[in-house]
Amino acid sequence: MSKLKMKDILELTPVVTKIVNEENVSGAAKLKSADLVEPFQKKVELFEKERRNIVVKYGEKQGDRDEYKVAVDKIDDYSKEIDEMLEVEYDITETKFTKEELKLDVTKLTGLDLAALKKFGLLD
């Protein structure tokens, strides 16, 4: 098991989702990505739900719509709660992708995608 913080999961979710949907990567890479995508997406959905609740908690309603803007005098409290959520650590299945599995010569993965995988130890 490895540990990732919520902020890391937010950064990696689009990358592992892209791998699952990339037609040119190997089946092994797709299976490894699939193990990450579902739990990552659930955590991202929960994070977004809680983030919206925090905006409402510290926000002011904007007009007749269901939109809120964080009040200037509460921005520090808002930021503190968001920062605490971003630092929450999760155990994740240890996963590593090889360059061969990702078929880098024919995939649409960008340098930023690869940098994110490497940054979090997911690329051999």
Range of the domain at 20: 2-119
How many distinct structural domains can be found in the chain?
1
Angstrom distance (rounded) from CA 67 to CA 41? 24
**pLDDT confidence of residue 108:** 85
Residue 124 falls within a domain, yes or no? no
Compute the mean pLDDT over every residue in the chain, rounded to the nearest whole number.
92
Dihedral sign (CA 48, 54, 56, 58): negative
Residue 91 falls within a domain, yes or no? yes
3 close to 23: Cβ distance less than 8 angstroms = no
Residue 66 falls within a domain, yes or no? yes
pLDDT over 80 at 1, yes or no? no
Q: Give the containing element (helix H, strand E) for 60.
A: strand 59-61
Which has the closest alpha carbon to 33: 108, 112, 88, 92?
92
Backbone angles phi, psi at 56, to 5 degrees: -65, -45
- Convert the pLDDT of each residue in 24-81 to its tens digit: 999 999 999 988 999 999 999 999 999 999 999 999 888 887 889 999 999 999 999 9
Name 111's Cβ contacts closer than 8 Å, sequence gap at least 6.
none
pLDDT over 90 at 14, yes or no? yes
Angstrom distance (rounded) from CA 123 to CA 115? 9
Angstrom distance (rounded) from CA 117 to CA 124? 9
12 close to 104: Cβ distance less than 8 angstroms = no
Residue 10 falls within a domain, yes or no? yes
Residue 111 falls within a domain, yes or no? yes
